[in-house]
Amino acid sequence: MTTFADLDIPFPLFEAPTHEASDYAGLATCRLCRRGERHCFELGMGDALILPCPACGSENGLSAKDRGDVPCRSCGGLIVFPPSLVAKKQVLACYDCLREGKAAIAHDTEFGLVAWEQAVEGVTNGAPGLRTEQFEVVTIDPAEDWYGARIPSQDLWELLRTPVFHSWQGESWLFCCSRPMTYLGGWSSVVQSLQPNDPDAFLLALFGPDDEARSWGSEPFLEGSVSLYVYRCRACGRRRATYDSD
């Protein structure tokens, strides 16, 4: 199975096979730098082009879906969505442009949505009743019992320079040691890449003490009625996983 590292376009937070990345578009012409034969990623809903304001230089996100002009978040001056991209069927950003921060790919996380606005703010969009030991919890909407997590902007920007993986119910990116974890892949990918001696024990170690999945064994993951998404912490090496079903 080919990974992005095998293609010489490594992502610190994505070590799964390339076929697990839902936005990977293969070799194509980058719409941002216009270079051909580049490994490209399709920007969709929630994703943004990141452009400096011509007046004040402050970086702003422009929705890759709406493709409209926006007022600068710092000075209010107009930032124009590149006219050459407005009518394009796909907005494709190459690896270099993505890694240089010219595009931002939104991710759902265990602490709520993270798009470019959240990276600028250094606070996730949050979730109802959110509690965590890893980060300071910030009240976003007391009436809705809605809280976000304060996370260093540089770690959120790194997540936004990372592909999205295929899942049934959407991602819920995990964190450990106060950092975003690295996505390793689904059940069949990790069994192939890690070759655990005892798959049941491997699986058990992925889940917290109160997780109902601890009692399931490997069968639902083997037969595919439940999908598994495995991550590794880059600091402590611990693995965690989420799962969903259709």
Give yes or no for residue 233 binding Zn ion (CB under 5 A).
yes
Q: Which residues of 28-67 are buried (b: 16+ CB within 10 A; e: fewer)?
A: bebbbeeeeebbbbbbeebbbbbbebeeeeebbbbbbeeb
Under the phi-then-psi rule, with left for phi > 0, alpha for psi from -120 to 50, and beta for the rest, what region is 224?
left
Give yes or no for residue 78 binding Zn ion (CB under 5 A).
no
Which among 20-28, 91-99, 129-137, 195-203 is the span making contact with Zn ion, rule CB under 5 A? 91-99
Least distance in angstroms from the C-beta of 166 to Zn ion: 24
Give yes or no for residue 72 binding Zn ion (CB under 5 A).
yes
One symbol per residue from 142 to 181: x for binding Zn ion (CB under 5 A), - otherwise; what is it? ----------------------------------xx----
Pick out residues in 24-43 that bind Zn ion (CB under 5 A). Answer: 30, 32-33
Partners of 175 in beta bridges? 180
Give yes or no for residue 50 binding Zn ion (CB under 5 A).
no
Helix ranges (DSSP H) in the chain: 83-86, 95-99, 116-121, 153-160, 187-194, 199-204, 219-223
Give yes or no for residue 206 binding Zn ion (CB under 5 A).
no
- SS3 of 243, please? strand
**Binding-site size, Zn ion (CB under 5 A):** 19
| Member of 68, 71, 77, 152 binding Zn ion (CB under 5 A) | 77
The CA angle 107-133-108, to the nearest 5 degrees, is: 10
Q: How far apart are the first and last CA of the chain?
A: 25
Which among 20-28, 58-66, 109-117, 147-155 is the span making contact with Zn ion, rule CB under 5 A? 58-66
Pick out residues in 92-121 that bind Zn ion (CB under 5 A). Answer: 94, 97
Query: Residues in the site for Zn ion, rule: CB under 5 A?
Result: 30, 32-33, 53, 55-56, 58, 72, 74-75, 77, 94, 97, 176-177, 233, 235-236, 238
